[in-house]
């Protein structure tokens, strides 16, 4: 990252500061970079779908996927700690609301699936809820709660930072993996990009 910043400054002129544009975990890695290497060359951090906050402690079934790194980041450089020298823009997507998995409902679907006559219709009826439950489990690992909105991977509440300019974009999916489907635009898709790229000017 340091070399990329040096190259960007060289191409734009030595006195120019750069904006860090980061997606997903790149956002909190950029915060660590500023902590470790300083902010003399940085004017802005714009993060897209970054899980900035660590999951809460003591929630059953939740395991910190970063192994404690996000705890360190939020202790060492909480929120917009380098403001006003660095401007913070945090963009979250609001693509799908997660759902909690309720065991009795799962068991009912499993029983219905065993009856061939009703299998197809029950499976079709359950499909949207199943997707929301799976996404909810992803959200739960990040923020400790399943029934929240997010971009399909990162919950909205985790993608915002205290003190930052926090923006939520409706209908936006987490990654470019879904971009080939018209119903899954991501942060870099035409029509979505234009909603945040102007902050880099």
Each residue's pLDDT tens digit, 1-38: 889 888 888 888 767 899 999 999 999 999 999 999 99
Tell me the CA distances in angstroms from 7 to 3, 11, 14, 33, 118, one per residue in order. 6, 6, 10, 16, 62
Question: Which residue matches tokens 């997010």?
Answer: 150
Q: Give the containing element (helix H, strand E) for 168.
A: strand 165-170
As a whole number, the mean pLDDT across the chain is 89
For the chain, which domains are there? 2-94+150-200 (3.40.50.1820)
- Extended strands (E) in 24-110: 42-48, 87-94, 96-97
**Are the beta carbons of 155 and 168 closer than 8 angstroms?**
no
Q: Which pLDDT value is given to residue 28? A: 97
Q: Which pLDDT value is given to residue 85? A: 98
What confidence tens digit (pLDDT) does each residue in 137-188 have? 999 999 999 999 999 999 999 999 999 999 999 999 999 987 677 788 999 9
**Are the beta carbons of 122 and 169 closer than 8 angstroms?**
no
Question: What global pTM score does this model have?
Answer: 0.86
Structure tokens at 90: 């945090």
Dihedrals phi, psi of 94, to nearest 5 degrees: -125, 80
For residue 90, what are the β-bridge partners?
Answer: 47, 166
Q: 50: which DSSP letter?
A: -
What is the average per-residue pLDDT within 74-88? 97
Cis peptide bond prior to 84, omega within 30° of 0 = yes
Q: Which pLDDT value is given to residue 34? A: 98
Of 3, 39, 35, 37, nearest to 19 (Cα)? 39
**Are the beta carbons of 150 and 96 closer than 8 angstroms?**
yes
- Extended strands (E) in 26-140: 42-48, 87-94, 96-97
């Amino acid at each position: 990252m340091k070399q990329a910043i040096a190259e960007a400054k060289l191409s734009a002129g030595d006195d120019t500061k750069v904006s860090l544009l980061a997606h997903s975990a790149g956002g909190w890695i950029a915060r660590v970079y500023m902590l470790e290497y300083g902010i003399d060359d940085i004017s802005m951090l714009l993060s897209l779908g970054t899980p900035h906050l660590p999951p809460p402690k003591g929630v059953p079934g939740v395991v910190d996927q970063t192994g404690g790194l996000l705890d360190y980041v939020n202790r060492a450089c909480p929120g917009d700690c380098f403001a006003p020298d660095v401007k913070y823009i945090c963009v979250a997507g609001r693509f799908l609301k997660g759902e909690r998995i309720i065991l009795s409902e799962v068991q009912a679907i499993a029983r219905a699936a065993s009856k061939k006559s009703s299998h197809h219709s029950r499976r079709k009826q359950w499909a949207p809820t199943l997707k929301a439950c799976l996404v909810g489990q992803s959200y739960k690992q990040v923020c400790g709660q399943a029934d929240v909105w997010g971009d399909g991977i990162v919950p909205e509440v985790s993608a915002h930072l205290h003190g930052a300019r926090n923006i939520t974009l409706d209908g936006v999916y987490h990654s470019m993996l879904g971009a080939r489907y018209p119903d899954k635009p991501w942060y870099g898709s035409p029509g979505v990009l234009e909603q945040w790229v102007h902050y880099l000017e």
